[in-house]
Structure 1
Amino acid sequence: MIKTIEQAYQFVKKVKVCTIFSSDKVEHASLWEHVDLPEKQPGEKGWGKKMTAVWTWKNQLPAQYPNEIFYGKINGGFAVLMDMDYMASHHFPRAYKDIQTQDGLAQHIYSKVVTEPWDTTSLRKATMQEVGCTKSQFDTALKNLQVTMNIARLNDPQIERDTWVAFKELYLNIWKQCVNDDI
Protein backbone atom coordinates (compact mmCIF):
# COMPACT_ATOMS: atom_id res chain seq x y z
CA MET A 1 0.00 0.00 0.00
CA ILE A 2 1.12 3.54 -0.81
CA LYS A 3 1.88 6.11 1.87
CA THR A 4 4.47 8.37 0.19
CA ILE A 5 4.99 10.08 -3.14
CA GLU A 6 8.04 7.85 -3.72
CA GLN A 7 5.83 4.77 -3.33
CA ALA A 8 3.28 6.34 -5.68
CA TYR A 9 6.07 6.85 -8.22
CA GLN A 10 7.10 3.19 -7.93
CA PHE A 11 3.45 2.14 -8.31
CA VAL A 12 3.01 4.07 -11.57
CA LYS A 13 6.28 2.68 -12.93
CA LYS A 14 5.16 -0.86 -12.04
CA VAL A 15 1.57 -0.78 -13.38
CA LYS A 16 2.40 1.48 -16.38
CA VAL A 17 -1.05 3.14 -16.31
CA CYS A 18 -3.27 3.98 -13.36
CA THR A 19 -6.34 6.11 -13.02
CA ILE A 20 -6.33 8.76 -10.33
CA PHE A 21 -9.63 7.58 -8.83
CA SER A 22 -11.21 4.16 -9.05
CA SER A 23 -13.90 3.32 -11.59
CA ASP A 24 -15.34 0.01 -12.69
CA LYS A 25 -15.52 1.46 -16.23
CA VAL A 26 -11.76 0.98 -16.79
CA GLU A 27 -9.48 -2.01 -16.42
CA HIS A 28 -6.64 -0.02 -14.88
CA ALA A 29 -5.75 0.02 -11.20
CA SER A 30 -6.29 3.32 -9.47
CA LEU A 31 -3.94 5.32 -7.32
CA TRP A 32 -6.86 5.98 -4.96
CA GLU A 33 -7.50 2.32 -4.16
CA HIS A 34 -3.81 1.70 -3.40
CA VAL A 35 -3.16 4.67 -1.12
CA ASP A 36 -3.13 3.67 2.53
CA LEU A 37 -3.87 6.95 4.27
CA PRO A 38 -6.92 7.87 6.34
CA GLU A 39 -9.96 9.25 4.56
CA LYS A 40 -11.65 12.36 5.88
CA GLN A 41 -12.93 11.78 9.39
CA PRO A 42 -16.23 13.17 10.69
CA GLY A 43 -15.66 16.73 11.87
CA GLU A 44 -12.27 17.00 10.14
CA LYS A 45 -11.78 20.13 8.05
CA GLY A 46 -10.52 19.94 4.49
CA TRP A 47 -10.22 16.84 2.33
CA GLY A 48 -8.56 14.40 4.66
CA LYS A 49 -5.10 12.88 4.26
CA LYS A 50 -5.94 10.39 1.50
CA MET A 51 -7.71 12.85 -0.82
CA THR A 52 -5.05 15.50 -0.24
CA ALA A 53 -2.27 13.04 -1.08
CA VAL A 54 -3.91 11.66 -4.24
CA TRP A 55 -4.90 15.10 -5.53
CA THR A 56 -1.43 16.52 -4.85
CA TRP A 57 0.48 13.54 -6.27
CA LYS A 58 -1.41 13.64 -9.59
CA ASN A 59 0.30 17.00 -10.21
CA GLN A 60 3.54 16.44 -8.31
CA LEU A 61 4.55 13.16 -9.93
CA PRO A 62 4.70 14.47 -13.52
CA ALA A 63 6.30 17.72 -12.31
CA GLN A 64 8.92 15.93 -10.20
CA TYR A 65 9.57 13.20 -12.80
CA PRO A 66 8.78 14.91 -16.14
CA ASN A 67 10.74 12.37 -18.20
CA GLU A 68 9.25 9.37 -16.42
CA ILE A 69 5.61 10.10 -15.50
CA PHE A 70 2.89 11.46 -17.81
CA TYR A 71 -0.45 12.88 -16.69
CA GLY A 72 -3.26 12.74 -19.21
CA LYS A 73 -6.70 11.49 -20.08
CA ILE A 74 -7.75 8.22 -21.67
CA ASN A 75 -10.95 7.23 -23.48
CA GLY A 76 -13.93 8.00 -21.31
CA GLY A 77 -12.16 11.10 -19.98
CA PHE A 78 -10.49 9.30 -17.08
CA ALA A 79 -7.44 11.07 -15.63
CA VAL A 80 -4.38 8.82 -15.53
CA LEU A 81 -0.75 8.73 -14.56
CA MET A 82 1.34 6.77 -17.03
CA ASP A 83 4.89 5.53 -17.34
CA MET A 84 6.47 7.75 -20.00
CA ASP A 85 8.05 4.87 -21.95
CA TYR A 86 4.70 3.09 -22.06
CA MET A 87 2.95 6.28 -23.15
CA ALA A 88 5.45 6.84 -25.96
CA SER A 89 5.56 3.28 -27.28
CA HIS A 90 1.98 2.05 -26.70
CA HIS A 91 -0.50 4.72 -25.70
CA PHE A 92 0.37 7.68 -27.92
CA PRO A 93 0.41 5.73 -31.21
CA ARG A 94 -3.08 4.36 -30.45
CA ALA A 95 -4.64 7.47 -28.92
CA TYR A 96 -3.32 10.26 -31.15
CA LYS A 97 -5.80 11.83 -33.58
CA ASP A 98 -4.81 14.66 -35.90
CA ILE A 99 -6.29 18.01 -34.85
CA GLN A 100 -7.90 18.32 -38.28
CA THR A 101 -10.16 15.38 -37.41
CA GLN A 102 -11.48 17.16 -34.30
CA ASP A 103 -14.60 19.33 -34.19
CA GLY A 104 -14.52 23.10 -34.68
CA LEU A 105 -14.62 23.93 -30.97
CA ALA A 106 -11.67 21.64 -30.23
CA GLN A 107 -9.76 23.17 -33.15
CA HIS A 108 -10.50 26.67 -31.83
CA ILE A 109 -9.23 25.77 -28.34
CA TYR A 110 -6.16 24.09 -29.84
CA SER A 111 -5.39 27.19 -31.94
CA LYS A 112 -5.19 29.21 -28.73
CA VAL A 113 -3.12 26.66 -26.78
CA VAL A 114 -0.64 26.10 -29.60
CA THR A 115 0.15 29.83 -29.55
CA GLU A 116 0.73 30.17 -25.80
CA PRO A 117 0.01 28.30 -22.55
CA TRP A 118 -3.47 28.85 -21.13
CA ASP A 119 -4.87 27.93 -17.74
CA THR A 120 -8.27 26.23 -17.81
CA THR A 121 -10.29 29.06 -16.27
CA SER A 122 -8.93 31.79 -18.57
CA LEU A 123 -9.16 29.53 -21.62
CA ARG A 124 -12.76 28.58 -20.83
CA LYS A 125 -13.83 32.19 -20.29
CA ALA A 126 -12.16 33.43 -23.49
CA THR A 127 -13.49 30.54 -25.57
CA MET A 128 -17.05 30.89 -24.27
CA GLN A 129 -16.98 34.61 -25.15
CA GLU A 130 -15.44 34.06 -28.58
CA VAL A 131 -17.56 31.17 -29.84
CA GLY A 132 -20.61 31.21 -27.56
CA CYS A 133 -20.24 27.63 -26.35
CA THR A 134 -21.45 26.35 -22.99
CA LYS A 135 -19.16 25.35 -20.11
CA SER A 136 -20.09 21.72 -20.75
CA GLN A 137 -19.22 21.97 -24.45
CA PHE A 138 -15.89 23.57 -23.59
CA ASP A 139 -15.07 20.95 -20.96
CA THR A 140 -15.86 18.14 -23.40
CA ALA A 141 -13.67 19.66 -26.11
CA LEU A 142 -10.79 20.19 -23.67
CA LYS A 143 -11.09 16.60 -22.46
CA ASN A 144 -11.14 15.31 -26.05
CA LEU A 145 -8.00 17.29 -26.87
CA GLN A 146 -6.26 15.50 -24.00
CA VAL A 147 -7.62 12.06 -24.95
CA THR A 148 -6.47 12.53 -28.57
CA MET A 149 -3.00 13.66 -27.40
CA ASN A 150 -3.23 17.13 -28.95
CA ILE A 151 -2.70 19.00 -25.69
CA ALA A 152 -0.98 18.20 -22.41
CA ARG A 153 -0.85 19.76 -18.98
CA LEU A 154 2.27 21.82 -18.36
CA ASN A 155 4.45 20.12 -15.74
CA ASP A 156 5.63 23.17 -13.85
CA PRO A 157 5.55 22.85 -10.05
CA GLN A 158 5.36 26.66 -9.77
CA ILE A 159 2.03 26.80 -11.65
CA GLU A 160 -0.96 26.13 -9.44
CA ARG A 161 -3.71 25.99 -12.07
CA ASP A 162 -3.94 23.36 -14.80
CA THR A 163 -2.21 25.03 -17.73
CA TRP A 164 -2.34 23.62 -21.26
CA VAL A 165 0.18 23.51 -24.08
CA ALA A 166 0.33 21.64 -27.37
CA PHE A 167 1.42 18.03 -26.77
CA LYS A 168 4.17 18.36 -29.37
CA GLU A 169 5.59 21.40 -27.53
CA LEU A 170 6.08 19.42 -24.35
CA TYR A 171 6.92 16.02 -25.87
CA LEU A 172 8.49 16.77 -29.26
CA ASN A 173 10.59 13.58 -29.36
CA ILE A 174 7.53 11.38 -28.86
CA TRP A 175 5.63 13.44 -31.41
CA LYS A 176 8.39 13.03 -34.01
CA GLN A 177 8.53 9.26 -33.46
CA CYS A 178 4.83 8.80 -34.14
CA VAL A 179 3.53 11.65 -36.28
CA ASN A 180 4.54 12.24 -39.86
CA ASP A 181 4.03 15.95 -40.42
CA ASP A 182 6.11 19.00 -41.19
CA ILE A 183 6.84 20.70 -37.88
Structure 2
Amino acid sequence: MGIQDTSDAELGQARAGRWWVRGRRVGSIERAAKFVDDIGFALLFPARRAVVPSLWDAVAGEDEEPFGGGMGVNEQRVWTWKDELPRRGLAWYGAYLGGRSSFLSPELLRALYPAAGDPGDHVLMELSPAAHEIAEAIAAEPLSTATLRALIGDRGRYQRAITELQRNLLVTTAGVDETGSGWPAALITLTCHQFDVGGSADHALATRRFLDTMLATTAGELARAYRWPVAQARARLTEEVETGHATFDGTRYLP
Protein backbone atom coordinates (compact mmCIF):
# COMPACT_ATOMS: atom_id res chain seq x y z
CA MET A 1 0.00 0.00 0.00
CA GLY A 2 1.38 3.37 -1.04
CA ILE A 3 1.49 6.63 0.90
CA GLN A 4 -1.61 7.97 -0.85
CA ASP A 5 -3.55 4.75 -0.10
CA THR A 6 -2.61 4.95 3.57
CA SER A 7 -3.69 8.60 3.71
CA ASP A 8 -7.05 7.78 2.12
CA ALA A 9 -7.60 4.91 4.54
CA GLU A 10 -6.83 7.13 7.51
CA LEU A 11 -9.15 9.81 6.16
CA GLY A 12 -11.92 7.25 5.82
CA GLN A 13 -11.50 6.19 9.44
CA ALA A 14 -11.48 9.79 10.64
CA ARG A 15 -14.60 10.61 8.62
CA ALA A 16 -16.45 7.59 10.00
CA GLY A 17 -15.96 9.03 13.47
CA ARG A 18 -16.75 12.60 12.46
CA TRP A 19 -19.89 11.59 10.55
CA TRP A 20 -21.40 9.58 13.44
CA VAL A 21 -21.04 6.30 11.53
CA ARG A 22 -19.25 4.69 14.46
CA GLY A 23 -20.51 4.58 18.02
CA ARG A 24 -24.00 5.25 19.34
CA ARG A 25 -26.69 5.13 16.65
CA VAL A 26 -29.20 7.90 15.99
CA GLY A 27 -32.50 6.55 17.26
CA SER A 28 -34.68 9.61 17.90
CA ILE A 29 -35.61 12.75 16.02
CA GLU A 30 -33.97 14.82 18.76
CA ARG A 31 -30.67 13.02 18.20
CA ALA A 32 -31.15 13.31 14.44
CA ALA A 33 -31.43 17.08 14.90
CA LYS A 34 -28.22 17.09 16.96
CA PHE A 35 -26.50 15.08 14.20
CA VAL A 36 -27.45 17.60 11.49
CA ASP A 37 -26.55 20.50 13.77
CA ASP A 38 -23.11 19.00 14.44
CA ILE A 39 -22.37 17.88 10.88
CA GLY A 40 -23.91 20.92 9.18
CA PHE A 41 -25.02 19.05 6.06
CA ALA A 42 -25.95 15.49 5.16
CA LEU A 43 -27.70 13.46 2.51
CA LEU A 44 -30.89 11.60 3.37
CA PHE A 45 -29.45 8.34 2.00
CA PRO A 46 -25.83 7.69 0.94
CA ALA A 47 -24.97 8.08 -2.74
CA ARG A 48 -22.19 6.11 -4.41
CA ARG A 49 -20.61 9.13 -6.12
CA ALA A 50 -21.12 11.62 -3.30
CA VAL A 51 -18.68 11.15 -0.43
CA VAL A 52 -20.51 13.18 2.22
CA PRO A 53 -22.31 12.30 5.46
CA SER A 54 -25.80 10.80 5.38
CA LEU A 55 -28.52 10.53 8.00
CA TRP A 56 -29.02 6.90 7.00
CA ASP A 57 -25.46 5.94 7.94
CA ALA A 58 -25.82 7.70 11.29
CA VAL A 59 -29.03 5.76 11.94
CA ALA A 60 -28.19 2.34 10.53
CA GLY A 61 -24.37 2.17 10.44
CA GLU A 62 -21.99 1.71 7.55
CA ASP A 63 -22.80 -1.94 6.72
CA GLU A 64 -26.60 -1.75 6.25
CA GLU A 65 -28.02 -0.94 2.83
CA PRO A 66 -31.24 1.11 2.76
CA PHE A 67 -34.34 -0.80 1.64
CA GLY A 68 -32.38 -4.04 1.45
CA GLY A 69 -35.26 -5.78 3.20
CA GLY A 70 -38.04 -3.37 2.31
CA MET A 71 -39.37 -0.61 4.54
CA GLY A 72 -37.85 -1.56 7.89
CA VAL A 73 -37.66 0.35 11.16
CA ASN A 74 -34.64 2.40 10.13
CA GLU A 75 -36.12 3.23 6.74
CA GLN A 76 -39.36 4.35 8.41
CA ARG A 77 -37.47 6.58 10.82
CA VAL A 78 -35.39 8.32 8.18
CA TRP A 79 -38.34 8.68 5.81
CA THR A 80 -40.50 10.25 8.54
CA TRP A 81 -37.77 12.56 9.81
CA LYS A 82 -37.16 14.08 6.37
CA ASP A 83 -40.50 15.88 6.74
CA GLU A 84 -40.62 16.23 10.52
CA LEU A 85 -37.20 17.83 11.01
CA PRO A 86 -38.01 20.85 8.81
CA ARG A 87 -41.58 21.03 10.19
CA ARG A 88 -40.09 21.58 13.65
CA GLY A 89 -37.49 24.00 12.31
CA LEU A 90 -34.68 21.61 13.29
CA ALA A 91 -33.14 21.10 9.82
CA TRP A 92 -33.80 22.31 6.28
CA TYR A 93 -34.61 19.57 3.77
CA GLY A 94 -34.59 19.53 -0.03
CA ALA A 95 -32.62 18.68 -3.16
CA TYR A 96 -29.39 20.56 -2.56
CA LEU A 97 -26.08 18.71 -2.12
CA GLY A 98 -25.23 17.62 -5.63
CA GLY A 99 -28.94 17.87 -6.43
CA ARG A 100 -29.73 15.05 -3.98
CA SER A 101 -32.13 14.91 -1.03
CA SER A 102 -30.24 16.73 1.73
CA PHE A 103 -30.40 18.30 5.16
CA LEU A 104 -28.79 21.58 6.22
CA SER A 105 -28.47 22.80 9.79
CA PRO A 106 -30.24 26.11 10.51
CA GLU A 107 -26.84 27.77 10.98
CA LEU A 108 -25.51 26.59 7.62
CA LEU A 109 -28.81 27.42 5.92
CA ARG A 110 -28.53 31.02 7.10
CA ALA A 111 -24.96 31.20 5.84
CA LEU A 112 -25.96 29.92 2.38
CA TYR A 113 -29.41 31.46 1.89
CA PRO A 114 -29.06 33.72 -1.16
CA ALA A 115 -31.71 36.36 -0.61
CA ALA A 116 -33.40 38.75 1.83
CA GLY A 117 -35.68 36.23 3.54
CA ASP A 118 -38.97 37.56 2.16
CA PRO A 119 -41.83 35.74 0.40
CA GLY A 120 -40.91 37.62 -2.77
CA ASP A 121 -37.28 36.41 -2.86
CA HIS A 122 -38.02 34.32 -5.94
CA VAL A 123 -39.03 37.37 -7.99
CA LEU A 124 -35.43 38.61 -8.17
CA MET A 125 -34.07 35.25 -9.31
CA GLU A 126 -33.86 33.77 -12.79
CA LEU A 127 -36.25 30.85 -12.38
CA SER A 128 -38.63 29.02 -14.67
CA PRO A 129 -42.24 30.25 -14.89
CA ALA A 130 -43.39 27.09 -13.09
CA ALA A 131 -40.96 27.74 -10.21
CA HIS A 132 -42.26 31.30 -9.82
CA GLU A 133 -45.84 29.97 -9.92
CA ILE A 134 -45.14 27.50 -7.10
CA ALA A 135 -43.43 30.15 -4.96
CA GLU A 136 -46.40 32.48 -5.41
CA ALA A 137 -48.86 29.69 -4.58
CA ILE A 138 -47.23 28.81 -1.25
CA ALA A 139 -46.67 32.41 -0.15
CA ALA A 140 -49.91 32.31 1.86
CA GLU A 141 -49.71 28.76 3.25
CA PRO A 142 -47.98 25.41 2.71
CA LEU A 143 -49.49 23.26 -0.03
CA SER A 144 -49.13 19.54 -0.68
CA THR A 145 -47.02 18.17 -3.49
CA ALA A 146 -50.23 16.71 -4.97
CA THR A 147 -51.89 20.12 -5.02
CA LEU A 148 -48.85 21.76 -6.58
CA ARG A 149 -48.52 19.08 -9.25
CA ALA A 150 -52.15 19.69 -10.17
CA LEU A 151 -51.50 23.44 -10.27
CA ILE A 152 -48.59 23.08 -12.69
CA GLY A 153 -50.46 20.48 -14.70
CA ASP A 154 -47.46 18.45 -15.78
CA ARG A 155 -45.52 16.10 -13.51
CA GLY A 156 -42.19 16.68 -15.27
CA ARG A 157 -42.51 20.48 -15.19
CA TYR A 158 -43.48 20.33 -11.54
CA GLN A 159 -40.50 18.17 -10.60
CA ARG A 160 -38.05 20.39 -12.45
CA ALA A 161 -39.55 23.51 -10.86
CA ILE A 162 -39.55 22.20 -7.29
CA THR A 163 -35.97 20.98 -7.69
CA GLU A 164 -35.02 24.40 -9.02
CA LEU A 165 -36.56 26.08 -5.96
CA GLN A 166 -34.86 23.66 -3.57
CA ARG A 167 -31.47 24.11 -5.21
CA ASN A 168 -31.85 27.84 -4.55
CA LEU A 169 -32.89 27.07 -0.94
CA LEU A 170 -36.21 28.88 -1.45
CA VAL A 171 -38.54 26.07 -0.36
CA THR A 172 -38.54 23.15 2.05
CA THR A 173 -41.05 20.70 3.53
CA ALA A 174 -43.36 21.41 6.46
CA GLY A 175 -44.66 18.01 7.49
CA VAL A 176 -47.17 15.98 5.51
CA ASP A 177 -50.81 16.24 4.43
CA GLU A 178 -52.62 13.17 5.74
CA THR A 179 -56.12 14.19 4.67
CA GLY A 180 -56.13 12.24 1.43
CA SER A 181 -56.08 8.50 0.81
CA GLY A 182 -52.88 6.58 0.23
CA TRP A 183 -49.35 7.68 1.11
CA PRO A 184 -49.24 11.11 2.83
CA ALA A 185 -48.06 13.92 0.56
CA ALA A 186 -45.33 16.29 1.75
CA LEU A 187 -46.34 19.88 2.43
CA ILE A 188 -44.15 22.43 0.64
CA THR A 189 -43.51 25.83 2.20
CA LEU A 190 -41.23 28.81 1.69
CA THR A 191 -37.95 28.46 3.56
CA CYS A 192 -38.31 31.99 4.93
CA HIS A 193 -41.61 30.97 6.57
CA GLN A 194 -40.04 27.96 8.28
CA PHE A 195 -36.59 29.28 9.22
CA ASP A 196 -34.92 32.54 10.26
CA VAL A 197 -33.05 33.36 7.05
CA GLY A 198 -32.19 36.35 4.91
CA GLY A 199 -29.52 39.01 4.81
CA SER A 200 -26.99 36.91 6.73
CA ALA A 201 -25.15 34.98 4.02
CA ASP A 202 -21.66 34.09 5.22
CA HIS A 203 -19.72 32.06 2.70
CA ALA A 204 -16.58 32.09 4.84
CA LEU A 205 -18.52 30.36 7.62
CA ALA A 206 -20.05 27.94 5.14
CA THR A 207 -16.58 27.08 3.83
CA ARG A 208 -15.23 26.49 7.33
CA ARG A 209 -18.16 24.26 8.19
CA PHE A 210 -17.52 22.22 5.05
CA LEU A 211 -13.85 21.83 5.93
CA ASP A 212 -14.65 20.88 9.52
CA THR A 213 -17.03 18.15 8.38
CA MET A 214 -15.08 16.79 5.40
CA LEU A 215 -11.69 16.90 7.20
CA ALA A 216 -9.99 17.12 3.80
CA THR A 217 -11.46 18.46 0.57
CA THR A 218 -10.84 20.02 -2.85
CA ALA A 219 -12.26 23.08 -4.54
CA GLY A 220 -14.24 20.80 -6.84
CA GLU A 221 -15.90 18.99 -3.93
CA LEU A 222 -16.85 22.25 -2.25
CA ALA A 223 -18.20 23.65 -5.52
CA ARG A 224 -20.36 20.57 -6.18
CA ALA A 225 -21.73 20.52 -2.63
CA TYR A 226 -22.74 24.19 -2.42
CA ARG A 227 -23.42 24.71 -6.13
CA TRP A 228 -20.70 27.37 -6.38
CA PRO A 229 -18.45 28.00 -9.39
CA VAL A 230 -15.14 26.17 -8.91
CA ALA A 231 -13.26 29.47 -9.03
CA GLN A 232 -15.36 30.81 -6.16
CA ALA A 233 -14.81 27.65 -4.12
CA ARG A 234 -11.06 27.78 -4.70
CA ALA A 235 -10.97 31.46 -3.71
CA ARG A 236 -12.86 30.72 -0.50
CA LEU A 237 -10.53 27.85 0.41
CA THR A 238 -7.47 29.93 -0.39
CA GLU A 239 -8.81 32.67 1.88
CA GLU A 240 -9.15 30.11 4.69
CA VAL A 241 -5.50 29.14 4.22
CA GLU A 242 -4.39 32.78 4.21
CA THR A 243 -6.30 33.51 7.43
CA GLY A 244 -4.91 30.44 9.17
CA HIS A 245 -8.15 28.46 9.28
CA ALA A 246 -6.90 25.80 6.84
CA THR A 247 -3.81 24.29 5.26
CA PHE A 248 -3.16 23.04 1.72
CA ASP A 249 -1.00 19.96 1.11
CA GLY A 250 -0.79 20.47 -2.65
CA THR A 251 -3.87 18.33 -3.33
CA ARG A 252 -6.41 18.86 -0.59
CA TYR A 253 -7.40 21.54 1.89
CA LEU A 254 -7.52 20.57 5.56
CA PRO A 255 -8.91 22.47 8.57
Q: TM-score category by the smaller chain? A: 0.7 to 0.9
Q: Secondary structure at the match of 2:35?
A: helix
Deviations 1:123-151 (A, max 9, x none): 101210xxxxx312211111111111222
Deviations 1:131-180 (A, max 9, x none): xxx31221111111111122222257988531122222333x412435xx
In the other structure, the counterpart of 2:110 is 88
Between the aligned partners of 1:164 and 1:139, the Cα distance in structure 2 is 13
Q: Which residue of 1 aligns with 2:47?
A: 23
Q: How does 1:1-183 map to 2 (within 5 A)?
A: 1-5=24-28, 6-36=30-60, 47-64=71-88, 66=89, 68-89=90-111, 91-93=112-114, 98-99=122-123, 100-128=125-153, 134-155=154-175, 160-171=184-195, 173-178=196-201
Query: Alpha carbon RMSD of aligned pairs, Å?
Result: 3.0
Of 28-37 and 117-126, more deviation after overlay is shown by 28-37
Note closer, same or farther for the CA distance 1:53–1:139 as it changes in structure 2 (3 Å cut).
same
* 1:110-129 deviations in Å (ceiling 9; x for gaps): 2212243210001101210x
Change (3 A) 1:41 1:29: closer
Rate the CA distance shift 1:82–1:59 in 2: closer, same or farther, 3 A.
same
Partner of 1:181: none
Q: TM-score, normalised by structure 2?
A: 0.55
Structure 1: state its 5+ residue gaps. Answer: 129-133, 179-183
The superposition leaves residues 19-65 of structure 1 with CA deviations (integer Å, 9 ceiling, x where unpaired) of 001113334211112223776676xxx6111211211222233334x
Amino acid in structure 2 at the alignment position of 1:25: R
CA distance in 1, matches of 2:177, 2:34: 20
Q: CA separation in 1, counterparts of 2:41 and 2:167?
A: 14
| Distance in 2 of aligned mates of 1:139 and 1:71 | 16
Tell me the TM-score normalized by structure 1: 0.73
8 Å contact kept, 1:77–1:144: no
**Aligned amino acid, residue 78 of structure 2:** V
Shift of 1:9: 2.5
Change (3 A) 1:34 1:167: closer
* Maintained 8 Å contact 1:40/1:50: no
The answer to whether the 8 Å contact 2:87/2:173 transfers is no
3-state SS, counterpart of residue 163 of structure 1? strand
The one-character-per-residue Cα deviations of 1:71-129 (angstroms, maximum 9, x if unpaired) are: 2321543111221112112x2249x984441012211222212243210001101210x
Unaligned runs of 5+ in 2: 1-23, 202-255
| Counterpart residue identity of residue 4, structure 1 | G
Distance 1:125 1:147 in 2: 22
Q: In the TM superposition, what is the alpha-carbon distance from 1:7 to its structure 2 partner?
A: 3.2
Contact 2:83 2:174 in 1 (8 A): no
* 8 Å contact from structure 2 (residues 114, 168) kept in 1: no
